[in-house]
Structure 1
Amino acid sequence: MAAERVGAAEPVVDGAASAAAGLRRVQRGWYFYDWANSVFSTTVVTVFLGPYLTSVAEAAADADGYVHPLGLPVRAGAFFPYAVSASVLLSVLVMPVAGAVADRTGRHRTLMGVAAYLGAGATAAMFLLRGDRYLLGGALLVLANVAFAVSAVLYNSFLPAIAPPEQRDAVSSRGWAFGYAGGALLLVLNLVLYEGRASFGVAEGDAVRICLASAGVWWAGFTLIPMRRLPERAGVPGAAPVAGGGLGAGFRQLRGTLAEMRRYPLTLFFLAGYLCYNDGVQTVISQASLYGSRELGMAQGSLVVAVLMVQVLAIGGALLLGRLARRYGAKRAILGSLVAWGATVALGFALPAHRPVWFFSLAALIGLVMGGSQALSRSLFSQLVPPGKEAEYFSVYEVSDRGTSWLGPLVFGIAYQATGSYRVAIVSLVLFFAVGFALLLRLPVRRAIAAAGNPVPERV
């Protein structure tokens, strides 16, 4: 009888081990989308596109330094941050609809793939950006950033399905670490091309355009891995078909979701704080190369090295804050990172021009706090989302994530337009971190998780 009991238990153990191995395989596939799409944030938004698109706009500017998109007078130096803001305002309209359709139909993976390849195609098409085609550059940036945001919404919505609550901080941190590693690797290759362009017989502008297009090719190629490993998810149980097609159904479900979100005021309170402080984070990321090149006189090669330093240190920073979250809770770890962010931006205002060592020191500080604050915010929010509403809620979350902030770049652009100083523009971002810190400090996290209908982990 004892032998029979042991023999009967073995399939259960084997089955549990097989299930755990399968879950790890799915998680690794999920990590690879961070590896795939993070190159858009690093190579395109953070490093090359801002200075290059600004130079293209300057080539098209009138004698007073203005371009006139849609007949509106815009300083050439403010065109890039305004284009980023425009892309995010459009994303606000598109992301909730995509999230609603995904939650309704369960086609999260398919819709993520469509958005990913649309964004990758637009990024690869930036190879065509030359001369005075600033409007083409703005249009491709808007299309790529909207597609990036939509794919990220659907990617983030997988987190509650692939990791139990006690694992989410670690899984989210590993995903961000994968992303920073992928972004760093492509950036190294692009740095070799850009710095060695003379030996390769490539002009500077052509080297920049090749680097931009390489991000689109990388994004498209590595997206194949999550497309093969991530499963489609079940749709909303009992959801009846709605006449008018997918978009009509999406808008109808979206209206219901927006009304339902009022039932979770603590989740909305977190979102208010997150959207504020992460707007500051994303604006620093998207405008850092523009600030470095125009205000501090940094060469393009030095900017690439600085961003590469950020990427490498962010890998360790994401994993380090993940460990601190296990010990002290995600909320405290995020609050500590926000203090560091505010101090970093204040130091950025005082940096002397034409002193690369100081710029590299600032880049090191950014790298240490960037990955952890973003990874832990994502995992914490995943516990504040009611089950079955992940994609719709993450569509609101994604309004200010990984290059898709809008208010920060708008404030940055307005400050520059009014003063002509990028230093004034960068220091204005301290307010975002201060307000976000104050809101998160007041959030009762345990009560918020319980109110959303989720189990409360031991440490939050």
Structure 2
Amino acid sequence: MKSTSQQRAWYWYDWANSAYVTTTATVILGPYLTSIATRAACPDLPSGQVCTTPVNLLGLSVLPGALHPLLVTISTILTLAALLIVGVLADRSARPQWWLGALAWAGAVAASAMFFLVDTNWQLGSVLMIVANLCVGASQVIYDGILVRIAEPDDRDRVSSRGWALGYLGGGLLLAINLVMMTAYEPLGLSYGLAIRLSLLSAGVWWGLFTLIPVLGLRSLPPRAMGELEAREGVHTNPVRQLANTFADLRNYPQTLLFLAAYLFYNDGIQTVIGQSSLYAQSELAMSTQNVMITFLFTQFVAFGGALLFGRLAGRLGAKRTVLIGIAIWFGVVAVAFVLPAGVFGALLALGGAIGLVMGGTQALSRSLYSQLVPKGREAEYFSFYQAMERGTSWLGTLSFALVFQLSHSYRWAIIVLVLFFLVGGLLLARVNMRKGILQAGNELPRVW
């Protein structure tokens, strides 16, 4: 029986990093960075007009409206190798919780430094966003890999779902505090811009402080299992060589590879919807920042219940069937978003509720589903592949979103292209043979798979 105290400590990293993911990456940074870039490129732009004067990003002419999704794409490409190396090194470490802490605190510093984004300084925001995204992604590799050490196969759906649920609760709580500050900024003696910057600062501080709980609570992790490759070649395998071996080794686990291909598509769809929804709501649907924050706050608390509900449903139907149900709902969400009328807050709120219902459940169960397909002793290493496609680091979806906007000047056409990601991802996931994959990885079959 794994330690429940360690499971409780592990949950808190979802609570910690969700502050950045929710307040900064999902709600505030996209529209705020877009407005700063727009101010730099089109200082006299009338309200409600699209800026068609590009800014220069690494030699590329990019419309301000496409800057944020393109930066997410670039951050993924730049951090992919780093995530894979982190996975290798964490698997070789007896204290992965310290890796978790170091990466989280570096990201928290970058997130807190977003307080200094003022005027037209979109370049600083771009650098800080890339650093923070790298750190949240790399730390999540360590965090996901620890799940295998602290939960038995039959417990992982439950433990993973509770972590996601607590994350949505924590992210929602800070978002509520920031909503109050950004709504009542005048009685608080603040300008609106300062209220936004203080919200960005609060997310970084929250991330850093609450990371102390998992780092300290996971000090006595059970030893990891030794993988077959490591047993053959010894524990002193060079990390770069081990990484190369991982790529080659994936061919021995075709079901794991098929799952990763499926996850690449449907999770990129999920992440793009989550990451660009604030930009879509404000720029395409003409919603105020306050109404967008209220919608996200509602979504967060629905997601808390949705993650727990999906965890229970997986206990009856199996995680794979439950995730497929979630993907079908995501498909419908994107289709409805395409025809959603501008300025109708009630419609946006209803769509936010539908997103919240499936958001936590599909992501939590995907994590536990994948953990069953990972070879023993190489958890963080294999989760680095998974995390490269995980929240805040998806790139195919954001690249498609940015390119379609660049060509059409319309976020509606940019959002509707995402139905392809859910369609392809769902079809690939349906082909994954979980029983065969679990046994190929040398893992114990759970009661329901």
Normalising to structure 1: TM-score of the pair? Answer: 0.92
Partner of 1:84: 72
In the alignment, structure 1 residue 318 sits paired with structure 2 residue 307: yes
**Equivalent residue number for residue 220 of structure 1:** 208
Q: Larger Cα Rg: Structure 1 or Structure 2?
A: 1
- Aligned pairs for 1:361-376 within 5 A: 361-376=350-365
2:160 aligned with 1:180: no
How far apart in 1 are the matches of 2:114 and 2:429? Answer: 39
Q: Is the contact made by 2:41 and 2:55 (CA closer than 8 Å) also made in structure 1? A: yes
Give the SS at the match of 2:186: helix
- What residue is the counterpart of 1:10 in the other structure? none
Counterpart among 343, 347, 358 of residue 332 in structure 2: 343
Find the partner of 1:153 among 130, 141, 163: 141
Q: Residues 107 and 233 of structure 1 are in contact (CA less than 8 Å); yes or no, is this contact kept in structure 2?
A: no
Query: Which segments of 5 or more consecutive residues in structure 2 lack a partner in the other structure?
Result: 44-51
- Match of 1:68, SS state, is strand
Counterparts of 2:60 and 2:425 in 1: how far apart (Å)?
33
% of aligned pairs identical?
49
Distance 1:428 1:358 in 2: 21
Which residue is 1:420 aligned to? 409
The one of 57, 71, 95 aligned to 1:69:
57
In structure 1, the partner of 2:10 is 30
Aligned 1:244-393 pairs, distance under 5 A = 249-393=238-382
- Give the secondary-structure state (helix, strand or coil) at the position aligned to 1:387: coil
| Equivalent residue runs for 1:188-227 within 5 Å | 188-227=176-215
Deviations 1:199-242 (A, max 9, x none): 11211111111101100000000000001111356475664436
Most deviating of 53-62 and 301-310? 53-62
Contact 1:166 1:457 in 2 (8 A): yes
Question: Structure 1: which 5+ residue stretches go unaligned?
Answer: 1-18, 243-248
CA distance in 1, matches of 2:430, 2:143: 28
Q: Contact (CA 8 Å) 2:150, 2:222: kept in 1 or not?
A: no
How many residue pairs get aligned? The number is 434
Contact (CA 8 Å) 2:303, 2:356: kept in 1 or not? yes
* Aligned mates of 2:209, 2:188 — CA distance in 1: 25
Q: Contact 1:108–1:233 at 8 Å: present in 2 too?
A: no
- Taking the aligned partners of 2:59 and 2:248, their CA distance within structure 1 comes to 38
**Inter-CA distance 379–240: structure 2 relative to 1 (3 Å threshold):** closer
Partners in 2 of 1:69 and 1:328 — Cα distance? 47
**1:457 equivalent in structure 2:** 446
> What is the identity, as a one-letter code, of the residue corresponding to 1:250?
P
Q: Deviations over 1:325-345 (max 9, x none)?
A: 001111110000111000010
The Cα shift of 1:62 comes to 5.4
Root-mean-square deviation (Å): 1.3
Q: Which moved more, 1:230-239 or 1:373-382?
A: 230-239
Deviation at 1:41, TM superposition (A): 1.0
Deviation at 1:250, TM superposition (A): 2.4
Matching residue of 1:50: 30
Q: Deviations over 1:277-319 (max 9, x none)?
A: 0000000010000000000000000010000111000011001
Asked if the contact 1:106/1:233 (under 8 Å) is kept, the reply is: no
| Segment drifting more, 395-404 vs 229-238 | 229-238
Q: What SS does structure 2 have at the residue aligned with 1:252? A: helix
| 1:34–1:178 Cα contact (<8 Å) kept | yes
Asked if the contact 1:105–1:234 (Cα under 8 Å) also holds between the matched residues in 2, the reply is: no
Q: Give deviations 1:159-213, integer Å, cap 9, x for gaps.
A: 1110101111000000000100000000010011000001112111111111011
Deviation at residue 65 of structure 1 after TM alignment: 2.0
TM-score (ref. length: structure 2): 0.95
